[in-house]
Amino acid sequence: MDHPIAVIDFGSQYTQLIVRRIRELGYFSRLYQPSELRETGKPAAVILSGGPRSTLEPDAPDIDFDYLVELGVPVLGVCYGMQLLNTKFGGTVAPGNTREYGPATLMPEEGVKGIFDDLVGHSQIWMSHSDTVSELPEGCQVVGRNLDGVPVALKWNDRFFGIQFHPEVSHTKEGTQILRNFLNLATDLPEFAISSFKDELAARVRETVGDKRVVCGVSGGVDSSVLAALLHEAGVNTRNIFVDTGLLRKNEAAEVQSLFAEVGIEIETIDASKRFLEALKGESDPEQKRRIIGRLFVDVFFDAVGDDVELLAQGTLYPDVIESATSGSIASTIKTHHNRVDRIMELKAAGRVLEPLDELFKDEVRELGRVLGLPERVVGRHPFPGPGLAVRCPGEVTEEKLRIVREADDIFIGLLHEKNWYDTVWQAYAAIIPTKTVGVKGDERSYEYALSIRAVTSEDAMTAEWVHLPYELLGEISNRILNEVPGVNRVLYDISTKPPASIEWE
């Protein structure tokens, strides 16, 4: 898409959120590294993100300031970006006495128009910085201060602005309005709507594929289902492969087959459940389990499609692209089950991997699925890990553990649906605790597994909060699991946040 709003990434953990917020406002935005500024072409506006470094460091991240001025578009510096701009205009930055992290109050200067239009008096903002602006260059105007009178928003001229806080996080209550006000200073803003973007994506797929044949792995999850639906919409020659690893939820293989039959997309099913369980036998290290599953999945997949693959379609999303670019490698070091096999790497190097969703965030992919006609039970389903239930069976994966997790998870998710909690929760699941505890069943002592249930809310999986499910619902979930799932005599509710815990157990 032409003339995107360019977000320059200086390494902040919140940078992706800037892109998301702009798209939520209905405009197209992309993330670039500082060295890629000239590759943005003619952006409609530029935002310099925050970052963990200090502008005082000798090798601090920099920007081509002359070119930034030459672009002639509105520029907003956020946190590190504000400090960097202040130095470029001739001001100085100094170490702060303490690191300021958390909520603060913004007091816009009276009579100031522009990025603080339509704010309601004082406004809560979110800080995360250690350095502070010490001297302002000539002509710079303070447009906002905190309660201590310290400048937290600057205006160097009619096009360059800086704010010391993060407008992209939800803790900054009027952050979206501030971003909207900034974008109002721009012209030729690139509008963005999934309903119209769908046709552009389908056209790109047709142009890229031509008369080649595409192979696509489907799992029934949101990303691969939307990918298969987009390929179907584009009308290209596609072979969809569904590998049943035996690590899926209760009745999931049959549900996947039913789904694709319902929407008229043909898939081939390969039952490799015995191979996966045998390969995992005796292994308890979580990273090794992921590697085993990832490698075997690729082996099974290519056994089916052969080595002569013209194009391989993958459901890579924009956060995966950003993560890969930031880490400097094609594959995420966190998700070791993705893209770490030589065969896929060879195809990627040869330009034979098709990733048509790689400019979209998860919520945008869900909306694309709706536009493509996929049922809500697919596009609205909770995330499910690539290695499947193996990550919810800490220690060795056994048939008994998988049975317990499947049955308990089915009860848990079923009750969330029944009690109208499923759509409120971002992700929920049951995980076995790899230890047995003493209990009493009937007139006898039992020695069976403990089970954890977990439900979280999140926006992007970077952070997560546990859901305050009603005690009555938790009690019903526990009672049904204890009464209906043999091998369990204790149910616990996981109330850990991320960080320090992760969302999944492994």
Which are the catalytic amino acids? 79, 166, 168
**Are the C-beta atoms of residues 18 and 49 closer than 8 Å to each other?**
yes
82: amino acid identity, one letter = M
Look-up: residue for tokens 């008096």? 121
Cis peptide, bond prior to residue 499, ω within 30 of zero: yes
- Whole-Å CA distances, 329 to 138, 141, 320, 358, 362: 43, 42, 11, 16, 21
Residue 290, CA distances (Å) to 219, 394, 416, 482 in order:
17, 12, 29, 30
Give residue 207's region: left, alpha or beta (phi > 0; psi -120 to 50): alpha
Q: DSSP letter at 90? A: T
Token pair recorded at residue 307: 């080595």
d(CA 286, CA 397): 10
Q: Angle, to 10 degrees, between the axis of helix 15-24 and the axis of helix 175-183?
A: 70
| C-beta separation of 457 from 387 below 8 A | no
First to last CA, the chain: 38
E-strand ranges in 44-122 read 45-48, 75-78, 92-108
Q: How far apart are CA 309 and CA 303, in angstroms?
A: 12
Q: Residue type at 301?
A: F
Edge-to-edge strands, sheet with 123-135: 29-32, 5-8, 45-48, 75-78, 160-163, 151-155, 141-145, 92-108, 123-135
| Separation of alpha carbons 243 and 229, rounded Å | 18
